[in-house]
């Protein structure tokens, strides 16, 4: 009788364990998805507001003294236009044009945001600053008087919470404004306590290092412990203080320049103050490493993929591989917390990028079905247009708002789709094998919660056999299209891992499996 050596026994056991793990599929854990659902940061619907341009103030006459020359107070119906360079102020005249909105007035329209179906509000900067956009902070701990006060913000956050809405603030911690007291003192006084808050020296144009050449935006020295204490470490720091006032998270401007160590420390500080605080960064780089330092990113990489696919610049197959790779590298958890961006205050509005309604809605359908938190820029719901800054920062057209507005009907449909389908909010992601369609699956621990998303970017119908690698989907299971005209109509049926489908030109289908009526018998009775 032959015997196995100890080494052969070990090799045999390793082989058997590998084989067994491959032969026995691991089903998704239901507790994982329950935990994701309890976390407001996963799959949130984020509504973005420019406070100055959202709702006109009822107290504008009493506020006019807050806009001294060279600031200009515009009429609400006027559209922002490109200005001229103001040498003395080191900025463009368009940055000093105001429309008079404030925190109190924004609070009067939170019911509109709630009725759309949004779950979080993102406010562009509200701290004390010279310009209308407030990316040039003078004092982070004070709110610009044009917008109100810390008390006004507390009331705003309280009202939002009563409606079930979270509030995210914009943190601009890479740089301050040239008119800040700290910078002014540092520039003229070599012994200033603020001297080491900035990089000052004759080697820099204008005497100090500024963000990407903008003389109005001197960079902060994050290596200085005093700066870190002021921004996020100390109990009374900027990050911690606003969280106590009612903020639920921070969107960090130019986060890609803050660096990983500082992002980790800031996120830790925010979490110490509020355990479920969101920290999401403006990252225009590939996202994976950045997601080790914060909860999520503004996913511009995903945006470029979607737009490239829509414009025919990237093939369906290549896009599918790219997105699959990105999610594998980053992980599904931070992807769910990342914001799916199509437009915002820095890039042209979606209605300008895609004036063709069919193409625009195709893009939006992917924004709301791919993993992440869709970001809705104010005015998208009524089809507002606008090119680059400042045209994309036009005042909200409340006279266009109505439940019968086609863009509002469509956006509400997408939000409802996202909110009512658990797999789209918190589900995992898996690529569907297809040649001409961009196709993917969102799934949870419950098979019938699976949603198949089939996107045809071409201008011709596509009929194709695709492979759906979901062992739980039973043969002969019918599917309905949740974005179709008749959501009860069976579109196709599942085969043995394969499905024959026709997707019309420039159309996105969201397929839901339904059980056949078999007189009380369920083919899914022993499968989750």
Q: Residue ranges per domain, the chain?
A: 40-174+222-420, 180-217, 428-528
End-to-end CA distance of the chain: 47
Place of tokens 């437009």: 343
Please give the biggest Cα pair distance in the chain. Answer: 102
Q: What pLDDT does 27 receive?
A: 54
Say how far apart CA 131 and CA 143 lie, in whole Å: 13
- Structure confidence at residue 30 as a pLDDT band (50, 70, 90): confident
Please answer whether residues 357 and 387 qualify as being in contact, where contact means their C-beta atoms are separated by less than 8 angstroms.
no
Task: Please calculate the CA angle 366-371-377 and round it to the nearest 5 degrees.
Answer: 60
Q: What pLDDT does 526 receive?
A: 83
User: If you average pLDDT over every residue of the chain, what do you get?
Assistant: 94
**310 has pLDDT over 50:** yes
Q: Which of 94, 100, 97, 96 is nearest to 63 (CA)?
A: 100
Q: Is 289 left (phi over 0), alpha (psi -120 to 50) or beta?
A: alpha
Question: Is the bond preceding residue 17 a cis peptide, omega within 30 degrees?
Answer: no
Tokens found for residue 236: 């009374």
Q: What pLDDT does 5 receive?
A: 53
**7 has pLDDT over 80:** no
**189 has pLDDT over 90:** yes
Please answer whether residues 245 and 150 qualify as being in contact, where contact means their C-beta atoms are separated by less than 8 angstroms.
yes
Say how far apart CA 316 and CA 270 lie, in whole Å: 40
Q: Which of 100, 106, 233 is nearest to 157 (CA)?
A: 106
Q: What letter would DSSP give residue 433?
A: B
- CB contact set of 287 (below 8 Å; sequence gap of 6+): 297, 299, 301, 326, 330, 334, 338
Task: Please calculate the CA angle 117-119-121 and round it to the nearest 5 degrees.
Answer: 110
Q: Which of 257, 220, 216, 219 is nearest to 94 (CA)?
A: 216
**8 has pLDDT over 70:** no
If one counts every other C-beta atom within 10 angstroms of the C-beta of residue 210, the result is 20
Q: Which of 449, 410, 448 is nearest to 426 (CA)?
A: 449
Question: Region 109-118: what's the mean pLDDT?
Answer: 98
Question: Region 468-494: what's the mean pLDDT?
Answer: 95
For every residue of 37-48, DSSP letters joined together read HH-TTTT--EEE
CATH code matching the domain that covers 428-528, chosen among 2.60.40.1180, 2.30.110.10, 3.30.465.10, 3.80.10.10: 2.60.40.1180
Q: What pLDDT does 15 receive?
A: 42
- Structure confidence at residue 514 as a pLDDT band (50, 70, 90): very high
Please report, rounded to a whole number, the percentage of residues in the chain having pLDDT higher than 90: 92
Q: Which fold has domain 40-174+222-420?
A: TIM Barrel (3.20.20)
Helix pair 300-310, 357-367: axis angle to 10 deg = 140
Q: What pLDDT does 333 receive?
A: 97
Phi, psi dihedral angles at 470 (to 5 degrees): -120, 105
């Amino acid at each position: 009788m032959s015997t196995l050596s100890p080494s052969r026994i070990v090799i045999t056991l390793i082989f058997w364990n590998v084989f067994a793990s491959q032969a026995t599929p691991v089903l998704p854990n239901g507790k994982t998805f329950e935990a994701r659902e309890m976390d407001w940061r996963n799959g949130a619907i984020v509504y973005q507001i420019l406070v100055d341009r959202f709702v006109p103030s009822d107290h504008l006459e009493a506020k006019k003294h807050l806009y001294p020359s060279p600031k200009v107070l515009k009429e609400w119906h006027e559209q922002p236009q490109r200005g001229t360079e103001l040498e003395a102020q080191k900025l463009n005249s368009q940055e000093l044009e105001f429309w008079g909105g404030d925190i109190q007035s924004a609070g009067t329209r939170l019911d509109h945001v709630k009725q759309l179906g949004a779950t979080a509000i993102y406010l562009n900067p509200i701290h004390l600053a010279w310009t209308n956009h407030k990316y040039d902070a003078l004092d982070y701990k004070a709110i610009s008087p044009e917008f109100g006060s810390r008390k006004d913000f507390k009331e705003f956050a309280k009202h939002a919470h009563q409606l079930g809405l979270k509030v995210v603030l914009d943190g601009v911690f890479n740089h301050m404004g040239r008119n800040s007291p700290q910078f002014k003192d540092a520039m003229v006084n070599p012994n200033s306590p603020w001297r080491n808050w900035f990089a000052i020296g004759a080697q820099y144009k204008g005497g100090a290092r500024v963000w990407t050449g903008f003389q109005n935006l001197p960079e902060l020295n994050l290596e200085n412990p005093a700066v870190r204490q002021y921004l996020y470490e100390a109990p009374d720091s900027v990050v911690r203080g606003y969280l106590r006032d009612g903020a639920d998270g921070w969107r960090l401007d130019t986060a890609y320049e803050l660096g990983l160590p500082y992002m980790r420390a800031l996120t830790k500080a925010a979490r110490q103050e509020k355990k479920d605080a969101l920290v999401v960064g403006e990252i225009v780089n590939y996202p994976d490493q950045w997601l080790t330092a914060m909860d999520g990113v503004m996913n511009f990489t995903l945006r470029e993929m979607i737009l490239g696919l829509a414009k025919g610049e990237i093939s369906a197959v290549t896009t599918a591989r790219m997105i699959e790779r990105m999610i594998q590298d980053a992980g599904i958890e931070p992807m769910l917390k990342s914001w799916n961006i199509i437009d915002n205050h820095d890039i042209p509005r979606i209605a300008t990028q895609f004036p063709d309604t069919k193409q625009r809605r195709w893009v939006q359908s992917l924004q709301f079905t791919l993993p992440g938190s869709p970001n809705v820029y104010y005015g998208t719901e009524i089809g507002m247009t606008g090119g680059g800054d400042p045209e994309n920062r036009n005042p909200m057209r409340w006279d266009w708002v109505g439940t019968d507005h086609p863009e509002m009907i469509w956006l509400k449909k997408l939000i409802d789709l996202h909110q009512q389908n658990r797999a789209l909010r918190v589900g995992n992601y898996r690529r569907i094998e297809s040649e001409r369609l961009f196709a993917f699956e969102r799934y949870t621990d419950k098979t019938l919660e699976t949603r198949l998303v089939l996107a045809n970017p071409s201008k011709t119908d596509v009929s194709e056999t695709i492979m759906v690698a979901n062992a739980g989907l039973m043969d002969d299971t019918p599917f309905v299209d949740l974005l179709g005209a008749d959501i009860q109509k069976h579109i196709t049926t599942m085969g043995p891992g394969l499905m024959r489908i026709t997707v019309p030109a420039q159309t996105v289908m969201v397929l839901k499996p339904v059980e056949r009526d078999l007189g009380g018998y369920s083919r899914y009775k022993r499968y989750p």
